[in-house]
Structures are given as structure tokens and as C-alpha cells.
Amino acid sequence: MRKVFSSNILSETVLVRDALQHHGLQVSIQNENSGYSAVPEFRPPAELWVSPDSDYDIARKVVTETLATLDSKAAARPWVCSHCREENPQSFEVCWNCGRSAG
């Protein structure tokens, strides 16, 4: 098992984990609940570990591509849901308010 990613932002870690799993890779999160520590100095970052080790290079490529996509979508203009007219971040594929697809 090898570490392929870590972040102090759990939601980012979960998004990267989901991308890895979508590519058929076996991955686990370590320190997932560390954000609940009452003492900020004792909050280790959440880490993603892939196994087997032979999947490491593929996993690093998926991590890099996923982070690039997240960064590009974070800077993009929001979209407005055609059903409920709610504004959504570009990175959302469905409306946060009504659950309808962006398309």
C-alpha cells in the first residue's frame, strides 16, 4: 500500500478518492476523522493510500488529472439550474437545490 495523496480538506480528499475508485483502483482513506480533533495542531491531513503498490503510477496520474479538473472548474463561472433557477458552482454536475442535471 502506498500513499498517493493527502489534504487538510476532507471534501477534496473524498473527491480524489471517488475519482480513483471510478478508475477501478482500490483506495482507502487514513485520518478521515482527524478534522474533528479539538486541537488544530493535532489534525493530521487525510491521506489516500492505493493498493497494490503496482497501481501507484496509474493512481498518481488520476490524482494529477483530478486536481487539474477541480482547479479549472473552481475558477469557472457558475451555472444556473433550468428547473429551479438556483446558481451552482461549475464543478457541480447536479443542482444542489433540486438535484437536476446540469445538462
Q: What share of the chain is helix, strand, coil (3-state, %, to 5)?
A: 40, 20, 35
pLDDT at 36: 66
The residues facing 80 across adjacent strands are: 87
Q: What pLDDT sits at residue 81?
A: 93
Domain coordinates of the chain in residue numbers?
2-76
**What is the torsion angle, in degrees rounded to the nearest 10, for the CA atoms of residue 35, residue 88, residue 100 and residue 102?**
-120
pLDDT of res. 83 = 93
The model's pLDDT over 4-61, given as tens digits with 9 standing for 90+, comes to 999 988 888 998 999 999 999 999 999 887 766 666 677 788 999 999 999 999 999 9
Which pLDDT does position 38 carry in this prediction?
67
Alpha-carbon span 70 to 9, nearest angstrom: 13
Could you say which of 3.30.70, 3.40.50, 3.30.200, 2.60.120 is the CATH number of the domain covering 2-76?
3.30.70
What is the per-residue pLDDT for 85? Answer: 94
Phi, psi of 47 (to 5 degrees): -125, 145
- Dump pLDDT digits (tens) for 69-84: 877 766 778 889 999 9
